[in-house]
Amino acid sequence: MKKYIVTGGDGRFAKQLKEKFNNKKFIFLNKKELNILNRKQIEKSIKKYKPYALIHLAGLSRPMIIHEKDIEKSITLNIIGTSNIVIECASKNIKIIYFSTNYIYPGKKGGYSEKSPLLPLNNYSWSKLGGEAAVQMYKNSLILRIAMSERPWIHPEAFINVKTNFLYHDEVIKILPKILDKKGIINIGGNDKSIYNFAKKTNPKVKKSLYSNQLSKVKMQKDSSININKLKKITKI
């Protein structure tokens, strides 16, 4: 039986993943059990559980503004923490499955494939690309550039002038078993590029809003939608 260590076991996505896969195959470790800034603790966990792979979810995400205000925290958790994971996994030939983001693409025209050039626009996406750079150096790895959100849509408004093809957490979880044995890079997203239409599916009362880089504290790409043809070939969706 292939076993998987999951870092960031108390996170939003990890909790949903645990509800679906709460068995001996998936070992969910929180920050106290596996601190990604402590290489000895990472090594100890790998030695104890002897996993086939490590699913790396731990790190800093929201609020997005924290990456602009506290770059030390952003760098430490998302870049150094991920680098520690890579070093320890590489020393034991343990596969890494890294959750990256579609926000590392330039976000000007959309439709980005796994081979498209990368150019983050804000510190969050730079921090994720920094972590991804470490993972790219280790060939026994799978990088998932994901556009995902919580169900239901938690915000009172949704942009009508920003495009990305989100999937809800539970939709991503359904896909995971079909791709865990893959290596390389896979874009993961949905078919609908409208954030407002996506939000309305689970929050009928959501209001339309316009995004402005001049007014926002955190810059966003106008069209960070991704090409998911590779995903479709693998999963037959």
Question: Domain residue spans in the chain?
Answer: 4-235
- Which ranges of 184-228 does DSSP label H, i.e. alpha helix? 195-202
Check pLDDT > 90 for residue 35.
Answer: yes
Sheet-wide strand order for 4-6:
26-28, 4-6, 53-56, 95-101, 141-146, 184-188
Average pLDDT over residues 185-205: 96
- What residues contact residue 169 under an 8 Å CB cut-off, 6+ apart? 12, 13, 16, 148, 149, 150, 151
Output the pLDDT for position 236: 81
Report the alpha-carbon distance of residue 26 to residue 19 in Å, rounded. 11
The DSSP 8-state label assigned to residue 160 in this structure reads S
Structure tokens at 112: 């980005």
Output the pLDDT for position 11: 92
Check pLDDT > 90 for residue 37.
Answer: yes
Output the pLDDT for position 214: 62
The DSSP 8-state label assigned to residue 226 in this structure reads B
CATH 3.40.50.300 assigned to 4-235: no
Q: Tokens 């009508």 — which residue?
A: 160
Output the pLDDT for position 212: 85
Check pLDDT > 80 for residue 23.
Answer: no
Report the alpha-carbon distance of residue 119 to residue 103 in Å, rounded. 9
Output the pLDDT for position 237: 65
pTM: 0.95
Check pLDDT > 90 for residue 10.
Answer: yes
- pLDDT above 70: percentage of residues in the chain: 98
Average pLDDT over residues 154-165: 95
- pLDDT above 90: percentage of residues in the chain: 91
**Three-state DSSP state, 31:** coil
Average pLDDT over residues 56-60: 97
